[in-house]
Amino acid sequence: MEWSADGIILATRKHGETSLILEVMTRERGRHLGLVRGGRSRKMQAALQPGNGARLTWRARLDNHLGLFAVEPLEMRAAGLMASPTGVYGIQALAALLHLLPERDPHPQLHEGLETVLAHLGDPAIAGALMVHFELQMLAELGFGLDLGECAATGSRQDLVYVSPKSGRAVCREAGLPYAAKLLSLPAFLGARPEHAAEVAADESELAGLDGSQIDAAFRLTGYFLDRHVLAPRQIPVSPARDGFLQAVKRAL
């Protein structure tokens, strides 16, 4: 069994004295693991840092084996990511989210979204908004997408300021005001917007004007549904990197 594809390195873990198990995200084959022999050598360490892009060739005797990776570096992003708190925490938070996906299950739009978020992690305002949209994208890919395009009560697409914690649907101000204490806040930049990070990034001028309170409210919204539908049922705690990323964004803003 053999295939080759471009991928993004998510994480590594030690295996034996000299090797690493590499976790990557590819467009065609999703999240994939493989062994890199000699991966702990000084020569290989720089290439195998999270966030880097690489050309990967995977080989195994049978398809269900762990297999071996041959790695050719393509884009060395890691040094740039380590230069800012949003970069350091951001790649860890992204990897923790993608680790929730079944291995070898293709998610091409998530791969595209990951590329987009990584390209903007050095700009806190834009990175914060894109990370929220990536979390919305994750929820949708896992089968728990939110409906933020119209009011659940009236069908209106105007003045959407709340989200129902039960249905995950938007609620307009007029319909939701009597129940405001029980509803989640919907920041204006999320309402009726595409949930794919790659599409959202096209409007950088609007994202650059966001403040810390809007980003904070957006993370509370996505965090609630991630915990309810994905993390709590699996008894997985929220990644500390997610809070580290949010705090870094708010300090920068």
Q: pLDDT tens-digit profile of 205-243? A: 566 678 889 999 999 999 999 999 999 999 999 999 999
- Burial class of 16 by CB neighbour count within 10 A (0 to 12, 13 to 18, 19+): exposed
pLDDT reading at 30 higher than 80: yes
pTM listed for this prediction: 0.92
For the chain, give the mean pLDDT.
Answer: 92
Instruction: Tell me what pLDDT residue 226 has.
Output: 97
Q: Report, as an integer, the average pLDDT of 148-173.
A: 95
Q: Report, as an integer, the average pLDDT of 17-37.
A: 96
Instruction: Tell me what pLDDT residue 167 has.
Output: 95
3-state secondary structure 79-120: HHHCCCHHHHHHHHHHHHHHCCCCCCCCCHHHHHHHHHHHHH
Instruction: Tell me what pLDDT residue 21 has.
Output: 97
Split at pLDDT 50, 70, 90, the class of 62 is very high
pLDDT reading at 182 higher than 90: yes
Least confident span in 27-41, 127-141, 199-213 = 199-213
pLDDT reading at 200 higher than 90: no
Q: Which residues contact 54 (CB under 8 A, 6 or more apart)?
A: 6, 7, 8, 9, 24, 47, 71, 72, 73, 74, 75
Split at pLDDT 50, 70, 90, the class of 197 is low
Q: Report, as an integer, the average pLDDT of 234-253.
A: 95
Split at pLDDT 50, 70, 90, the class of 58 is very high
Instruction: Tell me what pLDDT residue 43 has.
Output: 87
What pLDDT, in 10s, does the model give residues 32-56? 999 999 999 988 999 999 999 999 9
- Burial class of 10 by CB neighbour count within 10 A (0 to 12, 13 to 18, 19+): buried
Query: Percent of the chain at pLDDT above 90?
Result: 87
Instruction: Tell me what pLDDT residue 2 has.
Output: 95
pLDDT reading at 201 higher than 80: no
Query: Percent of the chain at pLDDT above 70?
Result: 93
